Amino acid sequence: MIEPNLTEFGTVLIFILGAITFVSVGLIAASIIRPKKPNYEKLTTYESGEETIGTAWGQFNIKFYIVAIIFLLFEVEIIYLFPWAVIFGDQELIQGTDYTWAWFAITEMFIFIFILALGLAYAWRKGYLDWVKPVNRVSDFKSPIPAEAYQKYKD
Amino acid sequence: MYAFLFFLNFVLIYTIFAVYAERKISAFIQDRYGPMETGPYGLLQTVADLLKLLQKEDIVPLAADKRIFKVAPLIIFTSVFAGFAVLPLTSDFGGSQIETGIFYLLAIVSLDVIGILMAGWGSNSKYALLGAMRSVAQIISYEIPLGLSVVCVIMVSQSLNLQEIVYQQGIFINAIDPNAQNFLFGIKALGIETTHIGGFLTWNIFRIPFFFLAYLIFFIASLAEANRAPFDIPIAESELVAGFHVEYSGFRWAMIMLSEYGMMLLISFLGAILFWGGWNTPLPNIGSVALADWTSGEPGTIAGHLWGAFWLVSKALLTVGLQIWIRWTYPRLRLDQLMNLSWKYLTPGAIILVLVSALWRLLMI
Amino acid sequence: MPLNTILLLGAALFCIGLAVVVTRKNAIAVLIGIELMLNAANLNLVAFSRFDAVELQGQIFALFVITVAAAEAAVALAIVIKVYQHFQTANLDKINELKG
Amino acid sequence: MLLQSNMALGLKEQIQGISADIAWLAPEITLVITAVLLLIYDLIFKENKSVGLAAIAFVGMAFSLALLIAGWGNVEGDRMLMGGMLRLDGAAIYLRALFSIGGMIGLVMMLRCKQKEKFFKSSETLLLFFGLVLGTFLMTMSINFLMVYVAIELVSICSYVLTGLFKSKRNSEAAMKYLLFGAVASAVMIYGMSWLYGFTGTLDFTSTAFAEGISQVAILPLSLALIMTIGGFVFKLGAFPFHIWSPDVYEASPTPIVAIFSSLPKLAALAILFRFVANLDITIIDWQIWLGIIAIASMTVGNFSALWQKDVKRMLAYSSIAHAGFLLVGVLAFSESGSTSALFYGSIYLLMNFGAFFLVQLFENNEGKTSFDVFKGMGSKVPYLGVLLLIVMISLTGLPPMAGFNAKLYIFSSLWESWQTVDSSILIWVLIFGLLNTVVSLFFYLKIPYYMFFKTREEVENPVIGSLTDKILGTILVAPLLLLFFKSDWLLNVLNSINFAL
Amino acid sequence: MIENLLTYIIFTPLLGALVVLFLPQSKTSSFKWVALGALGVTLVLSVLAVTSFDASVEGLTNSEDQLQMVDKAEWFSVELGSLGKFSVDYFVGVDGLNLSLLLLAAIVLFIGAISSFGIKQKQKGYFGLYLLLSTSVLGCFVALDFFLFYLFFEFMLLPMYFLIGIWGGPKREYAAIKFFLYTLVGSILILIVMIGLYNSVYDPVKTGMEAGVIENVLEASPDMISSIQYAVQAGQMESENIVKSFNMISMADDANYLPDSFLGKNSYGEIFGQSARWMAFLALLIGFAIKLPAFPFHTWLPDAHVEAPTAVSVVLAGILLKIGGYGIIRTAFSFFPDSAFHYSWLIGFFGLFSILYGAMNALAQKDLKRLIAYSSVSHMGFVLLGLAAMTVEGVTGAIYQMFSHGLISSMLFLLVGVLYDRTHDRGIENYGGLASKMPKFTILITIAFFASLGLPGFSGFIAELMVFIGAFKSSTVIGAIPYWMPVVATLGLVLGAGYYLWTLQRMFFGKFWVKDKAWREVLVDLNAREYVMLVPLVILIIWFGIYPATLLDLINNSVEGFTQLLILSVE
């Protein structure tokens, strides 16, 4: 390698630290040259000119949580896929055990993935995956384009 | 160290031109001129913008949660930029060589979700928060197919080390594993050895033909990861103004934009490395016409560096161009369509691909 | 990195987690504390698994702990949401219908 | 590369061994397949799936039971499965058979429950139920910390969801409390395990390496680690320091689920505890002090808090805590007789518990609640069920002529024996406290017969409690309690043919 | 027939209970007749047992040879891990110690059944439970296997609990649970000792069979047994051959204690620094003293008596209390004679205190039934005193006292029941000069009172007399209790005379007066049914008062053997 005095993770560390330093240096530099004249109007929250009502920190559509939960499970399953993926097809092991290893590993993982897919199927079937669709109100505006022309873009 | 400096500067310069390119291409697609004033053909436009951004006032809204608001851009940029740390630029030059390269990359990049959420939450604005939530939901949903499609590649190449993966896709395969061989379509039974033919024939995407599908999934997912149109509802200008970074201004805003473009580049690099042979030349050796040897120097030599960098960067930039093109061509997906695409089409598809590539791997030995 | 430092770090994490669990009233905070404790255990496991390099039981164990923790977190999230719908709060002191 | 190539050497045999082991795990596999079938069935059909789901569940459970009974004969000694992860011995088979019987009874209870669509409308409940049973199965066999942890968590998570699954305020609250306690307990356990792993370098706590490893560790850290680890087991056992969750959970959850909670995981945890302490040298740490204190505390706390409960299920929850204490007595006897009598006690306890909950559910079906008033004056209205309930309660108290008495007699005999040999005064205290607790427990166990036979009430003319089927089922559940008092040697001889990990 | 006699005696009532259970609810009137019939059969059988009892058999009470009508069969035998084998037998038999009490039980139960005819509500349940109670009581007296004994002893509680709790007076629930808990505490103590005992005692015959020394029980000749015992004592017997046993008779023989056993005579096991045998003895003593009841543990008795329906309190006073005394004789004294000697002063003291305390309480009572209840406490004190004396006369007196008190107290409670049936009031102050209104009743109650206060000519006199003789001799013969104890105990007699005569004077003599006008009509004299239950008792009381030999001859040899055992252990 080019930097023999660094471990591989050292390099990674350099990238991370470097990024941080770059940003902070930039910020400092900017703070030197940039003006600072705050006033109330400037510091209000932007809502296209409307007066903000209340705070934004409230509850969300439950769907967000559900997506989060499903993601969590899948991501965690992928943890197991990675170690398996790098070893199951290993030439020495497969030839050393004349394919017993390969078939064993693959069967195991297929069962695993099958159950995983079953979970997805469950979420799908029970309708946890379909997002609330916006109701489309037909406006009274008479446009030259016939309404059904839009139809194929909706849903 | 050098890799760091290289990538930092590379990202910066690239961003300047990417923004310019974006505006020009959009203008071209929408039949306009685009920036013309600053410099010839407005070439210096982005530089001017950058300078302007540097001296813009940094506004932190009163309602915002100050600390979170200020830290967010830092986290976003860092997490994206740290992704570059494991990219092999050429046969012998690149970031770190850690054995778990790709795994690390996926992990560190998915950290920017946190940054985005912080940005949205911290700025305590309804637009920002909505944007953040959407963006998070979108990113995590598309992380699954992305990860699975990456797993396909890993299963075939039996390694997490990007450099190793790249080596396998070219004529220098034996440099890492002396008795490794490549076969046409990876099927040993065909008996057509392509180890020394190299070129595009040994790229993953040609070695395992159905990797075209894998790459398709990968590419779509990567678009969503980078919040690019048609998956840009988080920053949908027309409804959320600018999504999670609506409250940002000045240098912090610049950082966010920078990391967005950086993300594009990173994803393109990754795609090129995993599927399109990385720094390997596309030209095969045909008998005595050793195009591959001519267009790629021995590892370690200057030629090797130059050729490698050339091929990889050009592949990546092409992908970026493709992304820009798509952005200005397709309409934005609605949130439910977005979710459906991810969960109901890409994920099952990716799962099937994983199974198929597992079997394919057995054909290869 | 010497073993002791890792173990100390783990112990510190564990204690912090325990303290959070004991002191905080918010269910989410308690869950975070629990995650800290689990990760302390993971640190230990990985650190110790240096000593059986062949089987790496510790690392595998850590992997499983992570998984199970994630599953637990998922369930916990779901339950907390449910509780929130019923009680309009995640404060554990406020959630006491069952007594006896 | 080098590493892998010499990995390849024994690998093939290893794989073939593991594939051979699968035959021994047929019951577990049956459970998994059943669960999967349930899910698929649920996903395929849209409407009125109850019958199909119930059928699948029953068949699966029955099949696993049949497999176990078939496997009873041909297990020779111990047998390591899955590369030393699991250990199959007589105790494991016996307990699993017991559990699948319990599972059957649980399913029957679900069927006899008033709002049975709660369980059979869709597959979730059954799915989790099977997951729970599977977890308990694995718990009985695991001798590896990793396996123990996974099994325990499988049980726990299924329990959490089962508790919170039903749409009510109390369910969600109970589920959250359960989850928080459980998560903390398991975190503590894991931390302890990690230390033990560090001390010994192995996760297999029945291996000699483990025993040697801990014999070299300083007393303080070792005891800390061990206590942390055992804390996790004790949580599943529902004994003293980690019992707080159970009353709320029991009160909130539907009765069949509670019946399962209160029996299967407890006994499974007991099995783990046995396997764990079996390999620990008493001379290193004085176990009997710790376990004795836990046992005494569980018995006393459980019984005394049960005294002023107004809800029967809550009362039974506390009684189950007390019984956990009694089960621990078998552990701290540290003798073969201790384990045998603990198994005996456990089996009887399972029967008693299911009987109690089954009968209570019959009354719950009638009035929709389980406060003691439900039983007012029922003795004259439904005398037969009343007598059955009386028998169960007497058995829970541990008086002759019910099997509960034999259970207590044997378990305390083994305690006495080990006290004669070891002569540590904690044991005699446990003995005295345990037996005096019987007196305390009489108060609340007799409360139900008291309400049934002594109290009277007018408003209910002729309540519809218990069809003929229920009466028959109740009899089937209660009859063993009488039978095993008069011929307790039948069960004991079976248990004697089991060699526990001692 | 004769060898299974006891079995028939025990299980006839159970059979009756089953009949009652399966009779349809409609046949309400039939239940009482079933009960009466069953208990009548029992009575006849037990009389048969008494007549066919061979009084000439001698021998120490720790040998099975002197038992009669033995019915022995293996119930179950199990192997409990390292605890080794132990076997539980169905083992019943009589000797002088329990024969009289068996008879007593049969009589009192029968009469109780007659008096239960007054029960009007829930007859099915009542008579079913009553018959169950009878079974367990009878079984308790004849069971010679500790497990069996304990089964009957515990099972007694349930029917009693329900009988008091459902058919009792206003405060019945409280009384029932109190009774249940007190006795349960006692039986827990007994259980602890039982566990300890069967862990230390082995059965020589079974051990021999296990070891293959002998083929079957018939070969077990005494010298063979003793050789086996020698082998075990010398530690030559393999531990896996040793069969532990619940046999109460072998428990009384030191040779049957395992050499290293905890409660063995020459092994010095300790609990809390005390000799294990002493502690075990105390546990047993307290356990049965609660049942007896002796002084500090008696408080359940008045409540139970007052709240229980007449028949039940008859059974309670007539039999259940005796089980306490019998238990002390059969277990505590027989198993741990040395400890008994060591604690005899304590037992004597308890006895003494019960006598005085009971009597004084009786003086203070306003409720006639309570008064009689406390008088029972006082009389049971004599039993303890007699036992503490550890002399032949003392023990004989104790048993005789139990027998006679069984008869007398039943009669007293029946009489109170008679009064209560009429006015539903038992207040002593609420009556006056009943003699003029119901003379026959007065005569009977006078007889009962005099019998109870120990007037010569009644059975009570003989009993107390023998107790006193034994107690006086004790200090010289064996030195169990000091001289002053019986002296002070005589005070009890005086007090007894006091409260009885005073009550008599207050309630029956003088001019007729009752609290409530309405009672004037209801207060009629005895009817036929009441005669049927009372007259036999009167006859019995007088018979045993003037011709005690009837009973003494039966029990003498066994008592000799028993005291022999005690004295042997003291030297």
Which residues of chain C neighbour A75 with C-beta distances below 8 Å? 70
pLDDT of residue E469: 92
Q: Half-sphere exposure of E469 toward its Cβ, with a 13 Å CA cutoff?
A: 12
**pLDDT tens string A94-135:** 888 888 888 889 999 999 999 989 988 998 888 888 876 666
Cβ–Cβ gap C73/A72 under 8 Å: yes
Domain total of chain D: 1
In DSSP notation, E270-321 reads: EETTEEHHHHHHHHHHHHHHHHTT-GGG-THHHHHHHHS-HHHHHHIIIIIH
In the predicted structure, residue D193 carries a pLDDT above the cut 90: yes
B102 and B154 Cβ atoms separated by less than 8 Å: yes
CA distance B235 to B245: 8
Which residues of chain A neighbour D8 with C-beta distances below 8 Å? 92-93, 96-97, 101
**pLDDT tens string D4-44:** 445 666 788 888 888 888 888 999 999 999 999 999 999 99
Which residues of chain D neighbour C21 with C-beta distances below 8 Å? 184
CA distance D13 to C96: 57
CA distance B62 to A135: 36
Q: Is C28 on the interface with A (CB under 8 A)?
A: no
pLDDT of residue A1: 41
Residue D296 in domain: yes
The pairing of strands E85-94 and E243-245 is parallel
In DSSP notation, E29-78 reads: HHHHHHHHHHHHHHHHHHHHHHHT--TT----TTSGGG-EEEEEEEEEEE
> Does an interface of 3+ CB pairs under 8 Å exist between A and B?
yes
Please name the residue that has the structure tokens 């291996």.
D207
A11 and B85 Cβ atoms separated by less than 8 Å: yes
CA distance A20 to chain C (A): 24
% residues pLDDT > 90 (chain B): 27
N-term to C-term CA, chain E: 42
Best to test chain D binding among E86, E195, E258, E262 (most D CBs inside 10 Å):
E195
Q: Is D439 on the interface with E (CB under 8 A)?
A: yes
Q: Judged by CB atoms within 8 Å, which residues 185-224 of E form the interface with D?
A: 185, 188, 191-192, 195-196, 198-199
Predicted confidence band of residue E160 (pLDDT cuts 50, 70, 90): very high
Q: Judged by CB atoms within 8 Å, which residues 481-500 of D form the interface with E?
A: 486-489, 492-493, 496
**pLDDT tens string D390-416:** 999 999 999 888 999 999 999 999 998
Range with top average pLDDT, D325-329, E202-206, E264-268: D325-329
In DSSP notation, C37-99 reads: HHHHHHHHHHHHGGG-TTT-HHHHHHHHHHHHHHHHHHHHHHHHHHHHHHHS--BTTT-----
User: CB burial class (10 A; 0-12, 13-18, 19+) of residue A119?
Assistant: middle
In the predicted structure, residue D501 carries a pLDDT above the cut 70: no
Residue D464 in domain: yes
* Strand partners of residue E202: E244
Q: Is C78 on the interface with D (CB under 8 A)?
A: yes
Average pLDDT over residues E95-107: 91
Orientation of helix B250-274 relative to helix B211-225, angle to 10°: 170
Q: Is E80 on the interface with D (CB under 8 A)?
A: yes
The SS3 assignment for D352 reads helix
In the predicted structure, residue A47 carries a pLDDT above the cut 80: no
pLDDT of residue D461: 62
Q: Half-sphere exposure of D459 toward its Cβ, with a 13 Å CA cutoff?
A: 5
Q: Is E564 left (phi over 0), alpha (psi -120 to 50) or beta?
A: alpha
CA distance E322 to D331: 40
The SS3 assignment for D144 reads strand
Residue A130 in domain: no
- For residue A123, give the nearest of C74, B227, B354 by alpha carbon: C74
pLDDT of residue A136: 66
B322-350 per-residue burial string, b: 16 or more CB within 10 A, e: under 16: ebbeebeeeebbbbbebbbbbbeebbbbb
D68-72 contact pairs (CB < 8 A, 24+):
D68/D27, D68/D93, D68/D96, D68/D97, D68/D100, D69/D97, D71/D24, D71/D26, D71/D27, D72/D97
In the predicted structure, residue E520 carries a pLDDT above the cut 70: yes
Cβ–Cβ gap E80/D442 under 8 Å: no
The pairing of strands B289-290 and B285-286 is antiparallel
Cβ–Cβ gap A69/C77 under 8 Å: yes
Do A121 and A71 reside in the same domain of the chain? yes
Cα four-point dihedral sign D453, D459, D465, D471? positive
Cβ–Cβ gap D399/E195 under 8 Å: no
Best to test chain C binding among D154, D172, D188, D258 (most C CBs inside 10 Å):
D172
pLDDT of residue D1: 36
CA distance E7 to E15: 12
Q: Containing domain of residue A72, as a range?
A: 62-125
Alpha helices per DSSP H over D25-166: 26-44, 50-73, 90-112, 117-120, 124-141, 145-164
N-term to C-term CA, chain B: 39
Q: Residue ranges per domain, chain C?
A: 3-87
**pLDDT tens string B43-96:** 888 888 888 888 888 888 887 888 888 889 999 999 999 999 999 988 888 888
Residue A70 in domain: yes
> Does an interface of 3+ CB pairs under 8 Å exist between A and D?
yes
Do A74 and A116 reside in the same domain of the chain? yes
Nearest neighbour of E77 by CB, restricted to D413, D425, D489? D489
pLDDT of residue E239: 79
**pLDDT tens string D59-94:** 999 999 999 988 877 666 678 888 888 888 888 889
Q: Is D337 on the interface with E (CB under 8 A)?
A: yes
E98-126 per-residue burial string, b: 16 or more CB within 10 A, e: under 16: bbbbbbbbbbbbbbbbbbbbbbeebbbbb
CA distance B106 to chain A (A): 11
Q: Residue ranges per domain, chain B?
A: 2-363
pLDDT of residue D3: 47
% residues pLDDT > 70 (chain A): 76
**pLDDT tens string D274-287:** 888 887 766 677 77
Q: Is A103 on the interface with D (CB under 8 A)?
A: no
* Strand partners of residue E88: E76
Domain total of chain A: 2
Cα four-point dihedral sign D41, D44, D49, D52? negative
E387 and E395 Cβ atoms separated by less than 8 Å: yes
E332 and E251 Cβ atoms separated by less than 8 Å: no
- The CATH number of C3-87 is 1.10.287.3510
Chain A residues contacting C via beta carbons under 8 Å: 62, 65, 68-69, 72-73, 75-76, 79-80, 83
Nearest neighbour of B154 by CB, restricted to A57, A85, A90? A85
pLDDT of residue D502: 43
Distances in whole angstroms, Cα of residue D162 to Cα of each of D62, D155, D159, E319: 22, 10, 5, 55
Q: Half-sphere exposure of C66 toward its Cβ, with a 13 Å CA cutoff?
A: 17
Average pLDDT over residues D133-137: 96
**CB atoms < 10 A from the CB of D499, how many?**
15
Q: Can you give the pTM of this predicted structure?
A: 0.90
One-letter identity of residue D269: A
**pLDDT tens string D217-261:** 888 888 899 889 999 999 999 888 888 888 999 988 999 999 999
Tokens of B122: 């911290």
pLDDT of residue E11: 92
Do A33 and A76 reside in the same domain of the chain? no
> Does an interface of 3+ CB pairs under 8 Å exist between C and E?
no
